[in-house]
Structure 1
């Protein structure tokens, strides 16, 4: 931010608020100017620090700091949303995510589920930027709430340019190794296994160790430039680690009762020559193995949505072209029953067959038994939830950035006809964008 005026304006609004009776959720807002939301986030001393931008053109860009309230369970979050809706007035957005498999041990400092109402929100929309201060008065002492809000405002720092991405020397280790990967693919494609589990999404952790890792916000800012048709997210729950990503896949978007989701599965690489690139896309659409992989996803999504919906419609298969890869995608629209909640949706939809497998339980059993690395929030969920609308991504094309290592994650759907070497190359293609930013491309 270019001046302290927005902060002073919020302090004045807070002073005025003390004299009036307040209840429920209140958001104080003022216009502001900002060049880089991540440049603003990076200099703040308040945690958690969070960034979110949905995939749609013209989507609001969010940078958030601190926490008014947080939930490590979907039940707690849903109860809070319902309580605030009963009070009425403006309704807040909660930001956060969920692990791929909350049943298994995950990453340290990353709970199986974590959604938070931030204290400070910096939002950039098409008409400008807004700095907001969030407060809650329905379940806490008003004086203490205002004192905490004042302390957070007082701690805000001026925006600074992001540091440059300097070259680093990395030591690479893949988990599993290519030999171990081939053995797992052979197990999944064994006819006896295919008979009961036609698809398992196997994943790989590529660990890059170095003396000092790059700044995660500088890395994400560079990454998002080449990922325009993707979601963009970053979260730091503690000062020493971050989870960032530019996923292309939507878990679902809910606007009132209308839900949109997608089957995004089936992959090939991209080339510079436009004719050859289109030929690869045509081959992908016609390929039996990749079509089967996509079919596994959409059939399960339809099965999961039908009990919760009055109507479900699926579109035609088409190609989505990203920077390094292209995918088969089918869009699905559903009209939800009036009593369906995000808690219900998040208890049935993730992990999708695009990141887990089919049937879900037997695919997860294989992953739990054979994968030695921890997926954590990779292939989990990240996004925003509110009473009226929710938008959530599948947390793929992501990186876990610690003080001495960056962990990159990629997965491949293994079905009948999958070849270990081809699938291994697909994993490399999926991490190619961030590897090139790290000087490893």
Structure 2
């Protein structure tokens, strides 16, 4: 109550200010569980974002006062942003804007929230965002006060209980064999050396609170990006993804080539042997090289002084991946919209060359990817970061849909790639019993 009183005093001061644009008032508060606090709220959208790394801030976003629905709008919104307060938008882009068949998500949806909860280190702040023009000051203040009044106290998350469900894969294994055979055919390979094929696994009958599932999942994925988007009560998209699309700090860019996969078994010596096998495997090295080359080619018109590390093994709980880090300096005036258009979707989730791979996916995959393998994250004037939305789940009433993909190149075997898909959803399946 003391925190809300302090914010209301700041809002009263804004009544006499004539400045237009973004205004942000903030107050320090205490919250134990960000996801427990988020789940207790009644305001939508409800968004959670935590970038990869234990030292990165945690964000919760509630409500919406402005929305971007296309990457081209990003450059416009920051081009005239000379204020002390810079807006932070949270959201994502579909894997394929031409086929974004998830109602409520759209091809692009980036939200400037009414309320943000932010934890940096030991400090947690509640922020209230307002956007003033010449005519809306009183109405905007009233809306902000109403949103503040709607906030609910933190509450424990519902327990994640074992589920009973029926699993349906799309494609099924015979269809998968046909798709892999088509991609690995010599004539097709001559033009399109890599296509990332995906599968959705629908668990029908599963009734799950998305934030309870995400809370349990994050405990097994501390080295991953952790995020969730609930634009309306009936559905949510959550993920614990190991893959960064890019991070921009002012003009400095960080990205990566993450492609090539092998399992882990839990035994240190055996895992080291598997990692060595991954490093020496021609098929996986080829897959990673194709991703590296495509990213560097797409960045060339936008950057200078690009550097690339040698491949190393990224160890996750159940999997190991080949990873190369890429850094570069952006040319002046390059925007996040340009970066998203250049880098998304990467060959790690689409294929190479991009358009030929996307055309095959559009024509042959029997399910809609929606935001799976899309780009999800947060952007602002100073810093933007997007993750590739793999290791993800779409949660609807009585259905949880899990997604996984595998890069198909020359030498790919259908049974081995199918097993890789199963390995990639094993974490979530174990949580659901």
TM over 0.5: yes
The question of whether the paired residues in 1 share the 8 Å contact of 2:94 and 2:100 is answered with no
| Partner in structure 2 of residue 418 of structure 1 | 412
Instruction: Say whether 1:21 aligns with 2:18.
Output: yes
Question: How far, CA to CA, are the matches of 1:92 and 1:108 in structure 2?
Answer: 26
| Partner in structure 2 of residue 45 of structure 1 | 42
| Partner in structure 1 of residue 88 of structure 2 | 93
Question: How far, CA to CA, are the matches of 2:90 and 2:133 in structure 1?
Answer: 20
Unaligned stretches of 5+ residues in structure 1: none
Change (3 A) 1:376 1:125: same
From 234, 242, 254, give the equivalent of 1:240. Answer: 234
Instruction: Say whether 1:36 aligns with 2:30.
Output: no
Question: What does the per-residue CA deviation read over 1:380-405, in whole Å, with 9 as the maximum and x for residues that have no partner?
Answer: 00001111210100000000000121
From 55, 59, 64, give the equivalent of 2:56. Answer: 59
Question: What does the per-residue CA deviation read over 1:231-287, in whole Å, with 9 as the maximum and x for residues that have no partner?
Answer: 000010001000000000000000111100000000000011101100000110110
The question of whether the paired residues in 2 share the 8 Å contact of 1:28 and 1:132 is answered with yes
Question: What does the per-residue CA deviation read over 1:1-54, in whole Å, with 9 as the maximum and x for residues that have no partner?
Answer: xxx222222122112221233322111010000011110110111000000000
From 426, 429, 433, give the equivalent of 2:427. Answer: 433
TM-score (norm 2): 0.98
Instruction: Say whether 1:406 aligns with 2:403.
Output: no
Question: How far, CA to CA, are the matches of 2:135 and 2:126 in structure 1?
Answer: 24
SS class of match (1:34): coil
From 351, 354, 365, give the equivalent of 1:360. Answer: 354
From 145, 150, 161, give the equivalent of 2:145. Answer: 150
Question: How far, CA to CA, are the matches of 2:7 and 2:316 in structure 1?
Answer: 41
1:26-425 matches, within 5 Å, as 26-85=23-82, 88-138=83-133, 141-210=136-205, 213-425=207-419
The question of whether the paired residues in 2 share the 8 Å contact of 1:240 and 1:402 is answered with yes
SS class of match (2:301): helix
The question of whether the paired residues in 2 share the 8 Å contact of 1:204 and 1:411 is answered with yes
The question of whether the paired residues in 1 share the 8 Å contact of 2:74 and 2:336 is answered with no
1:370, CA displacement in angstroms? 0.4
The question of whether the paired residues in 1 share the 8 Å contact of 2:100 and 2:369 is answered with no
Question: How far, CA to CA, are the matches of 1:256 and 1:238 in structure 2?
Answer: 33
Question: What does the per-residue CA deviation read over 1:199-222, in whole Å, with 9 as the maximum and x for residues that have no partner?
Answer: 000000000011x51100000000
Question: How far, CA to CA, are the matches of 1:282 and 1:100 in structure 2?
Answer: 32
Q: Which moved more, 1:171-180 or 1:135-144?
A: 135-144
Question: How far, CA to CA, are the matches of 2:109 and 2:96 in structure 1?
Answer: 13
Question: How far, CA to CA, are the matches of 1:419 and 1:143 in structure 2?
Answer: 64
SS class of match (1:246): strand
Question: How far, CA to CA, are the matches of 2:172 and 2:44 in structure 1?
Answer: 36
Question: What does the per-residue CA deviation read over 1:187-210, in whole Å, with 9 as the maximum and x for residues that have no partner?
Answer: 100001000000000000000011
SS class of match (1:29): strand
SS class of match (2:345): coil
TM-score (norm 1): 0.97
Question: What does the per-residue CA deviation read over 1:296-316, in whole Å, with 9 as the maximum and x for residues that have no partner?
Answer: 100000000111112111011
SS class of match (1:79): helix
Question: How far, CA to CA, are the matches of 1:105 and 1:225 in structure 2?
Answer: 30
Question: How far, CA to CA, are the matches of 2:300 and 2:134 in structure 1?
Answer: 37
Aligned length: 433
Change (3 A) 1:121 1:139: farther
Q: Which moved more, 1:105-114 or 1:247-256?
A: 105-114
Considering only aligned residues, what root-mean-square deviation do their CA atoms show, in Å? Answer: 1.0
SS class of match (2:366): coil
SS class of match (1:84): coil
The question of whether the paired residues in 2 share the 8 Å contact of 1:99 and 1:106 is answered with no
SS class of match (2:236): strand
